[in-house]
């Protein structure tokens, strides 16, 4: 292969490095009205009265909108395929506010200074209710977060909203209780992962304007442009045909922008006033009024024989969706369905879950999407089992891990077509010299520990999400590739161009990748669920193969030869038997020459019947200071099986970045609330994410498998890479200190107190 498995430079690299205006705010119209949001100071309250009289007298204030001014329809902000498995439980503005930061009024002014000045003059009278803040007390609580009559569901998700249950589900494989009774050892543990902020560099932002034809155009930093179009249609109660969504470059998303946080406000204001408007979230707003990772508490019971063969696993996950239900039912599913299959040889398994409402900020999508939380629990109890049995944790995994050519009952009964997990773990052990290191070493003032974890994810959502592309042969012989997938800094514009170049046997520079515009781009469900390389990539392969056939067919007409006589090497079209040839450049120009040819365009779409898991093994070496309890990551090695690596540079960066985020989740990141429901961690001063100095040495390698259902044998890589640090580091700390910390983050205070403090 000429273009695959190569370190191709990202197509937008030089534009970004040179600081060109490519992001949403850079492109906003100069005469945009500025929107600022008055937010609720109460976690749960009813708005009795809003007085905007004085605020409206401020020069430059264009309008102030409240719940009385917005459409009545409820909708979801979840960027998911229709019908969304998320409740329609919110309005643009509601009379009931359900968390500190919920929207009360939209202030529209000529500039930000004026809008903020007016916002301070709005008087709001609230009827304040007691909030529900502890998600472990949500089910059947006297406080009901959603008791409105117009609450709406499109899918059966086990919803019992009057019990504060957003979603409930159970999956059972054989008789868990019976198998547990036969086990030599049974452990039950409870693990708790907190909400985490995605902490992308570019905050939530959007601007809107009315075009020449009276249609609403919304430019947004979003991962899901086509879903945003549907969300705006539902929220504004206008047809999709009147809405256009454009995605410029995105300054990071990590799942946060799979939820349509701010687009509805710019769209509503512009549609109402017929004037351009923009909304730019501050960092505080992004922390406190957008979305985060779902907080989860997981109780795991594991049963095994004394020789370390795992017989059964029982996992119950309680997930906090916060004030609204975006992504609630789908995220929690991954906590079980992408952790339990790692130990596919068990005789029985049970996964049950509840997702509950509380009066905290809404949760949403974050890299790993529930698998991260579930794997922290399952991998941690496997590590504890190894310690209880006195078996090396790597040896225990080799005895029990899933293997290629197996059917996975707890992974939707999918057949595992490709898996190099055993080779990943063996390679990681080799990289860190595992066999020559004890699990615990006393270094004097510090103690060093080793910990291991394995992980899996998926590649798109099987039989649900769809991707389409369109590729055109242009004059002079270059190609334009129109995609609906969203490059959010991951490099998919480049990766998909590499695939097209490989199919068409040309240089990547001959492929011009076009950004997403819902009026012109082919439909794609969006960049989430680790779908783009695997699902959209297959669309590229299909479309390019169709275009090659078109080139050969049309060349046979122009050269007056049989199609089977023609060969195409990307530069020349040759009919050897007929002693005829034409360059691609000349052929393309003839195609655009009126009656002598025709324009060649190919399009294709792809829905995958499977979601093949990528795999990863990670080993952490950490030092714990005996006096202070400070934990330092000395070395972290990771080996990934993502099938065929398409772009070696981007795959390595994805892995290193995911590990750094996982280290942050394990050791630093912690969202907490005051007794009145106000988030304490509303800036980078209070919310600690790791810097380069905090992550130590990160070393990455790849073990390739070949996935027959993926483009060139590829699987996904975007999410699997965040899952191993938390359990691996927790185990390393436990080996170093003798104490298992089961609530993240693992802080020096918890280590010193030798207990898990919630």
Angle among Cα 293, 147, 355 to the nearest 5 degrees reads 30
Q: Is the Cβ–Cβ distance between 424 and 639 less than 8 Å?
A: yes
Q: Which fold has domain 295-459+611-753?
A: Aldehyde Oxidoreductase; domain 4 (3.30.365)
State the Cα–Cα distance between residues 433 and 436, nearest whole angstrom.
6
State the Cα–Cα distance between residues 440 and 438, nearest whole angstrom.
5
Phi, psi of 451 (to 5 degrees): -145, 150
Strands (E), 94-151: 96-97, 103-109, 123-128
* Tally of helices (H runs) and strands (E runs) in the chain: 18, 29
| Measured CA distances, 571 to 478, 494, 511, 560 (Å) | 10, 21, 14, 19
Sign of the dihedral through C-alpha 18, 24, 25, 28: positive
Residue whose entry in the numeric block shows the structure tokens 């207990």: 755
State the Cα–Cα distance between residues 730 and 55, nearest whole angstrom.
52
Cis peptide before 83 (omega within 30 of 0): yes
Closest alpha carbon to 498 in 488, 477, 513, 487: 513
Q: Is 636 helix (H, G, I), strand (E, B) or coil?
A: strand
Does 13-129+204-280 match 467-606 in CATH topology?
no
What residue ranges do the domains of the chain occupy?
Answer: 13-129+204-280, 295-459+611-753, 467-606
| Measured CA distances, 210 to 64, 96, 266, 280 (Å) | 20, 31, 11, 19
Q: Is the Cβ–Cβ distance between 365 and 291 less than 8 Å?
A: yes
DSSP symbols for 298-332: EEEEEEE-TTS-EEEEEEEEEEEEETS-TTHHHHH
For domain 13-129+204-280, give the CATH superfamily: Aldehyde oxidase/xanthine dehydrogenase, a/b hammerhead (3.90.1170.50)
For the entire predicted model, the pTM comes to 0.96
Q: Is 550 helix (H, G, I), strand (E, B) or coil?
A: helix
Angle among Cα 147, 151, 154 to the nearest 5 degrees reads 145
Q: Is the Cβ–Cβ distance between 298 and 381 less than 8 Å?
A: no
Phi, psi of 422 (to 5 degrees): -65, -40
- What number of residues does the chain have? 758
Phi, psi of 151 (to 5 degrees): -60, 140
Residue whose entry in the numeric block shows the structure tokens 């202030």: 107
Q: Which fold has domain 467-606?
A: Aldehyde Oxidoreductase; domain 4 (3.30.365)
Closest alpha carbon to 461 in 534, 553, 554: 534
Q: What pLDDT does residue 754 have?
A: 74
Question: Strand pairing partners for 601?
Answer: 472
Q: What pLDDT does residue 150 have?
A: 97
Q: What pLDDT does residue 302 have?
A: 98
Which residue ranges in the chain fall short of pLDDT 50? 756-758
Angle among Cα 715, 612, 170 to the nearest 5 degrees reads 140
- In b/e form, how buried is each residue of 232-267, taking b as 16+ CB within 10 angstroms? bbbbbebeeebbbbbbbbbbbbbbbbbbbbbbbbbb
State the Cα–Cα distance between residues 327 and 681, nearest whole angstrom.
23
State the Cα–Cα distance between residues 217 and 229, nearest whole angstrom.
10
Predicted confidence (pLDDT) per residue in 384-393, tens digit:
999 999 999 9
Closest alpha carbon to 377 in 409, 339, 347: 339
- Count other Cβ atoms within 10 Å, centred on residue 758: 10
Predicted confidence (pLDDT) per residue in 397-445, tens digit:
999 999 999 999 999 999 999 999 999 999 999 999 999 999 999 999 9
State the Cα–Cα distance between residues 385 and 664, nearest whole angstrom.
25
């Amino acid at each position: 292969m000429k273009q695959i498995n190569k370190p191709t430079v990202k197509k937008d690299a030089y534009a970004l490095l040179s600081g060109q205006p490519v992001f949403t705010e850079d492109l906003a119209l100069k005469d945009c009205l500025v929107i600022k949001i008055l937010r609720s100071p109460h976690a749960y309250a009813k708005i009795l009265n809003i007085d905007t009289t004085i605020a409206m007298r401020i020069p430059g204030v264009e309008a102030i909108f409240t719940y009385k001014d917005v459409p009545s329809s409820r909708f979801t902000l979840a960027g998911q395929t229709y019908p969304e498995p998320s409740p329609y439980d919110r309005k643009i503005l509601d009379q009931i506010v359900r968390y500190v930061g919920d929207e009360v009024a939209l202030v529209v002014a000529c500039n930000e200074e004026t809008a903020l000045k007016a916002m301070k003059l709005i008087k709001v009278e609230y009827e304040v209710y007691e909030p529900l803040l502890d998600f472990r007390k949500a089910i059947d609580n006297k406080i009901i977060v959603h008791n409105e009559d117009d609450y709406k569901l499109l899918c059966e998700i086990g919803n019992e909203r009057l019990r504060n249950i957003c979603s409930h589900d159970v999956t059972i494989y054989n008789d868990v209780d019976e198998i547990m009774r036969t086990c030599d050892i049974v452990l039950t543990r409870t693990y708790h992962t907190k909400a985490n902020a995605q902490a992308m560099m570019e905050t939530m932002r959007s601007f809107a304007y009315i075009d020449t034809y009276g249609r609403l155009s919304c430019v947004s930093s979003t991962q899901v442009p086509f879903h945003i179009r549907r969300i705006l249609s539902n929220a504004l109660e206008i047809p999709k045909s009147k809405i256009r969504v454009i995605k410029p470059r995105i300054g990071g998303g990590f799942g946060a922008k799979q939820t349509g946080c701010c687009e509805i406000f710019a769209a509503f204001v512009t549609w109402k006033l017929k004037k351009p408007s923009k909304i730019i979230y501050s960092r505080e707003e992004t922390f406190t009024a957008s979305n985060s990772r779902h907080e989860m508490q997981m109780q795991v019971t594991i049963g095994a024989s004394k020789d370390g063969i795992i017989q059964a696993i029982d996992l119950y996950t309680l997930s906090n969706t916060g004030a609204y239900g975006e992504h609630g039912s789908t995220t929690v599913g991954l906590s079980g369905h992408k952790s339990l299959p790692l130990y596919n040889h068990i005789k029985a398994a049970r996964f049950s879950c509840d997702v509950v409402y509380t009066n905290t900020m809404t949760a949403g999508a974050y890299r790993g999407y529930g698998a991260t939380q579930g794997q922290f629990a399952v991998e941690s109890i496997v590590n504890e089992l190894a310690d209880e049995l006195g078996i090396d944790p790597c040896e225990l995994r080799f005895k029990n891990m899933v293997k290629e050519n197996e059917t996975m009952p707890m992974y939707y009964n999918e057949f595992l077509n490709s898996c190099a997990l055993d080779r990943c773990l063996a390679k990681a052990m080799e990289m860190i010299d595992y066999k020559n290191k004890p699990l615990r070493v006393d270094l004097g003032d510090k103690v060093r520990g080793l910990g291991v974890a394995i992980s899996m994810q998926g590649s798109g959502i099987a039989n649900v999400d769809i991707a389409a592309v369109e590729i055109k042969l242009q004059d002079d012989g270059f190609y334009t590739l129109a995609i609906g997938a969203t490059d959010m800094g991951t490099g998919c514009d480049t990766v998909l161009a590499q695939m097209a170049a490989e199919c068409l046997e040309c240089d990547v520079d001959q492929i011009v990748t076009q950004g997403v515009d819902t009026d012109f781009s082919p439909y794609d469900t969006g960049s989430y669920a680790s779908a783009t390389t695997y699902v959209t990539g297959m669309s590229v392969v299909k479309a390019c193969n169709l275009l090659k056939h078109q080139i050969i067919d049309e060349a046979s007409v122009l050269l007056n030869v049989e199609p089977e006589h023609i060969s195409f090497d990307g530069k020349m079209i040759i009919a050897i038997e007929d002693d005829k040839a034409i360059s691609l450049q000349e052929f393309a120009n003839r195609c655009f020459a009126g009656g002598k040819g025709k324009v060649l365009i190919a399009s294709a779409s792809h829905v995958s019947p499977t979601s093949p898991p990528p795999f990863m093994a990670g080993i952490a070496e950490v030092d714990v200071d005996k006096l202070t309890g400070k934990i330092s990551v000395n070395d972290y090695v990771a080996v990934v099986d993502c099938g065929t690596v398409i772009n070696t540079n981007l795959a390595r960066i994805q892995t290193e970045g995911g590990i750094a985020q996982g280290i942050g989740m394990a050791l630093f990141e912690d969202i907490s609330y005051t007794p009145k429901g106000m988030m304490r961690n509303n800036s980078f001063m209070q919310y600690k994410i790791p810097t380069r100095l905090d992550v130590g040495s990160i070393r990455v390698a790849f073990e390739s498998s070949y996935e027959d259902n993926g483009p060139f044998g590829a699987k996904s890589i975007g999410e699997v890479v965040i899952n191993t640090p938390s359990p691996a580091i927790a185990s390393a700390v436990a080996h170093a200190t003798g104490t298992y910390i089961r609530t993240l983050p693992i802080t020096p205070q918890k280590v010193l107190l030798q207990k898990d403090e919630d």
